[in-house]
Chains A and B, each alone.
Chain A
Amino acid sequence: MSMHRLLIGAAMLMSATSGVRADSPNLGRVVSPEEIAVWDISIAPDGANLPHGSGTPAQGEAVYRAACQTCHGERGAGKPNDPLVGGQGTLTGEGLPIKTVDSFWPYATTLFDYVRRAMPLTAPKSLTDDQVYAVCAYILSLNGIIGADDTMNAETLPAVRMPNRDGFVLFSRSR
């Protein structure tokens, strides 16, 4: 191939890929939004990426008993692993703070994001989106953050105001 044709080829590649450098390997496969959707499970505080579906505390209680209670105790009391309720007032006390969804977590969207990707520990990603909404609703209702009859969905979950929402500051170096 002549240098002239190489240069033309490089120029065409540049224009076709919106400014990608021709000297970069460019071996990535362009992926469609449909392909990405299944993988894109992260939920920011604005809730923009929340899936369809919904759940209530009552529905969530059944899910919780079957999938969560073994590790997190009855009604989120904890043991053997992290408690999900209580701990109010412990962030400034003498002992180690008890950090629960109620006392510490700043965003309800984090609860959905985490449960859907990682819980239950022995069978992660086994809950349906409806079940995740429901179990989030149950945990939030246990803490009195939402009412016993409230429904959690893509609109209501991001609107939940968490008690410790203003409890975080950005780190800056002290010296």
Chain B
Amino acid sequence: MATRTQERRLAFLATALPPIVWVVVFFLAPLAIVWAYSFGQNVSLTEVDISGTFANYARALEPLYLGIFAKSIFVAGITTLLCLIVGFPVALAIVFASERWRPWMLMLIMLPFWTNLLIRTYALIAVLRTEGYANFTLEWLWNQGSWLMTLVGLQPLGEFTPLQMLYNNFAVVVGLVYVHLPFMVLPLYAALDRLDKSLIEASLDLGAGQLRTLYSIVVPLALPGIISGIIITFVPALGAYLTPDLLGGPDSQMIANVIERQFKRANDWPFGAALSFLLMYATFGAIAMRAYFSRGKPADGHGI
């Protein structure tokens, strides 16, 4: 009896140890160091004295930085909402696609991950810029329209003015949605795929319309997946810095850009650490909210 428990404990240790070591060495320890930095101050160009000061947090809570936090949360929120609006029908389409097509459609969703984020962002620059592919296409359509109008004897359209689609907040949101869409589609797909299709049939048989079925049956049952999707889209979007850097305009500064500058140009690691941890607390808040929402509901929503 005792030996069996011991054996089990040993087996547990053997399997649990590598991940625990991994988490401690590569996650908790670095995080603890950054956390300690956030209570420190620069004493020279290369040294930080952990003095237990709260000055960095006080500075991080100044209106200037709170405003940037608010703006980042807003941009990440819009991104998440758009991802949900675009991603939900996509996930639904994959779930209801035939067995033959489904793996291919899933692969198309995951395909962008095979390319580096930086390269995808540069590709987006080539599409969105003044002399980019989007504007070339629009110009072509414009000229065709113009030609058609002269054909039917109307005045031709005026000169085509390219749309300004790059270097503004619009471009940042487009870039973030483009990058984060798979994060939304995959958990939605997982949730919708588990959904019992006979419930939908029952709903339709009993006289509910398509939309009514969607809102009363599909969405509530897929809610855990929707919330997971929202969180894993919102959290990385909140910390995005490459996209606003490369696609953003003069005012597209997000909090991660400020944090990056503290660790690089400004050489102020303690302040950067404090800002990072404020961002982490916001993230923890989001996850806590997810726990709160899923509390009291059975995990398997489609139970009996």
A binds B: no
